[in-house]
Amino acid sequence: MSLFSKKSNGAGGHHAISTLICEGCVIKGDLKAPNFVRIDGQLTGDVSVDTGLIVGEKGTVNGNIVTRELIIYGTVNGNIKAESLKIESTGKINGEIKTQTLQVEMGAVYNGKLSTAAPATVQVEEIVLKDLKLSAL
């Protein structure tokens, strides 16, 4: 959960942002990216980012979001599916949320349905050793 590992000031400075949609930009269409994206403008369409997404204070997403880690400072109007989600005090979400980890700052606004699930557990296979002999060197 690298997005949550340090106190963020909203600038996302401790992440290697590979794509930036700056304030004043307006995009209509879906966005798919492999690495961290920051949206400070307005995007209308679905967003799919493999690693992580930051929606800045002036950022707005009108569409569904699927990503591993997500921090919301701005506004999202759509459904969210993320392993980790943090809604900052200026964040606003209208839509369904499916996440494993949720952090909500005081002052954040959320309207919708919330589903949480525990992280997937690792299955450990039991190995039985028969007639094992150990000898000291």
For residue range 62-115, list pLDDT tens digits in order.
Answer: 999 999 999 999 999 999 999 999 999 999 999 999 999 999 999 999 999 999
Tell me: pLDDT of 2 over 70.
no
Q: Which residues of 44-73 are buried (b: 16+ CB within 10 A; e: fewer)?
A: eebbbbebbbbbbebbbbebbbbbbbbbbb
User: What are the helix and strand counts (H, E) for the chain?
Assistant: 0, 14
For residue range 9-20, list pLDDT tens digits in order.
Answer: 444 445 678 889
Q: What is the pLDDT of residue 120?
A: 58
For residue range 37-58, list pLDDT tens digits in order.
Answer: 999 999 999 999 999 999 999 9
What's the rounded mean pLDDT across residues 57-62?
98
Residues 9 and 85: their CA atoms lie apart, in Å, by: 16
Q: Where are the domains of the chain?
A: 2-116
